[in-house]
Structure 1
């Protein structure tokens, strides 16, 4: 932890009769260091495009070496443009790895190699996920398994693989699980019972991982966005008539979010600025769940 200790003035030291608890000492962490990821290494799943890529870009601006894992066999043009910008103008750097989070063995191998580059791994943003909108009565067991394998099991195995390397190299740090406000509510206008259930499971998983890994110096929190304009959501709007209007009217700001509006929260959760925060769920939904 980067800390600067302010000297204690003689008048503030107290008498010889003061107990240690009564003796005051102030400590401050400089603001520019609180939110810095300089010199640290991170993994972002689902980082090939959309929300995950936007988060990854902000992490390179804050100084991090960021490794994006995505099931796209070749990097999306959006990723390549972002990578070029990051590597030219940002303090950190952006890297791509083709990987499906359902392949646990290759996942462990890849994350081990990433950590070995600099003998460290400082955290994770687990943003990989899929959405299927289907009436509950029409779901098949295969549909359920596919969504849960990516949104929950894949996320769990990714967090586990990252935590193993953090422990191996004795790197305390932060894991951010991208859940959703959909883990707290039923989304009006969209039937996605398995997606919503998977996000609820992620929120509960975050609490349990925080409990187990806290003494190892690893913090785990869930980020719960509201409705965001991503490629996945845009496709959903094409399939469900009137859904965009419904969602826009269901929050207190009367609009949808953009991916960029979650970058500040991402840096906060990963950095020293949130060093006493773990086992929490940060809801950023334009007031949707506050009605």
Structure 2
């Protein structure tokens, strides 16, 4: 079924690579007008070019760092100026530091909170008034690390940040329900991206991670996550809010 997002305006953060890029391309293919942003101007522009070459409609604000409140506001203002409204917000982008507590500095901790919590709050805050006008869907990117710990992943700050995103999602769903705003989160497991590909070359790291994957150790793809986001963005998910979707190959089920 094509055209699942026909006529909708979708704001997506972090479109330059990985899951954000996959979602931007998929949403546009399903009829959405995409407003993307990325901290890297070149990669963000490359995603927009790919969408337009395929006949889609998209613009980007790049470089843009939504962990800064004024830049998040500029992103939302750009979407409204370009297309007159907002229907979908996909908070995909994040910035994170990995280290065990003995090596985690205050700067690393605060940087992760800014790059995983502030970045979601800022965009939601800027978009909220526009979404109240006609309802819509907010999709926040959580993580399995918000619900469990990996022995080989020093994700103290990341776990706290993503756990906060999942909790924030539930509360926003409660506040937004009376306005027709649905808010859900997606918690990916191990997904092959530019950031994780090098780590997977290390058996000491990859094998314990792989053992948590039920489907014969299959690692996720950005498209696996994007299809869940597409569902949550569409009217098919009209009675779905306050939920967290584990797109993790069964990782959190055992």
Query: What is the TM-score normalised by the length of structure 1?
Result: 0.81
| 1:63-142 superposed matches below 5 A | 63-72=31-40, 74-76=41-43, 79-142=44-107
Distance apart, 1:268 and its partner CA: 0.4
Cα distance, 1:70 vs structure 2: 1.3
Give the structure 2 partner of residue 14 of structure 1: none
Q: Are 2:235 and 1:263 aligned?
A: no
What is residue 9 of structure 1 aligned with on the other side? Answer: none
Deviation of 1:241 (Å): 5.7
CA distance in 2, matches of 1:208, 1:193: 23
Q: Distance in 2 between matches of 1:39 and 1:163?
A: 19
Cα distance, 1:82 vs. partner?
3.8
Task: Specify the SS of the correspondent of 1:201.
Answer: helix
Matches within 5 A, 1:10-21: none
Shift of 1:188: 2.7
1:56 to 2:24 alignment: yes
Establish whether residue 193 from structure 1 lines up as the match of residue 153 from structure 2: no
Which structure's CA Rg is the greater one?
1
Q: Does 1:277 align with 2:244?
A: no
- 3-state DSSP of counterpart to 2:148: coil
Whole-Å separation in 1 of the counterparts to 2:49 and 2:82? 21
Alignment size in residue pairs: 253
Segments of structure 1 that go 5 or more residues without pairing to the other structure are 1-30
Match of 2:12 in 1: 44
Cα distance change, pair 278–180 in 1 and its aligned pair in 2 (3 A): same
Paired residue for 1:149?
114
TM-score, length of structure 2 as denominator length: 0.93
SS in 2 for 1:188: coil
Deviations 1:74-102 (A, max 9, x none): 222xx545433321324443534321112
Aligned to 2:126: 161
Cα deviation, 1:182-220, whole Å, max 9, x if unaligned, reads 111002311110001100000000000000011111100
SS of match in other structure, 1:136: coil
Q: Which residue of 1 aligns with 2:146?
A: 183
Distance 2:23 2:38 in 1: 14
Q: 1:80 to 1:71 in 2, by over 3 A?
A: closer
Report Cα offsets for 1:31-82 as digits up to 9, x if no partner. Answer: 656xx1111111111112111111111000111111111111x222xx5454
Contact conserved, 1:178 with 1:222, CA < 8 A, in 2? yes
Question: C-alpha separation between the residues in 2 aligned to 1:230 and 1:190?
Answer: 16
Contact 1:45 1:125 in 2 (8 A): yes
Residue equivalent to 1:26: none
**What per-residue deviation string (whole Å, max 9, x for no partner) do you get for residues 254-283 of structure 1?**
121111112221110000010000000011
Q: Secondary structure at the match of 1:190?
A: coil
- Kindly indicate whether residue 207 of structure 2 is the aligned counterpart of residue 245 of structure 1: yes
On the 8 A contact 1:86/1:94 being kept in 2, the answer is no
Local SS of the residue matching 1:137: coil
Aligned residue for 1:138, secondary structure, equals: coil
Cα-to-partner distance string for 1:141-188 (whole Å, 9 max, x where unaligned): 111000000100111111111222223xx1211000010111110023
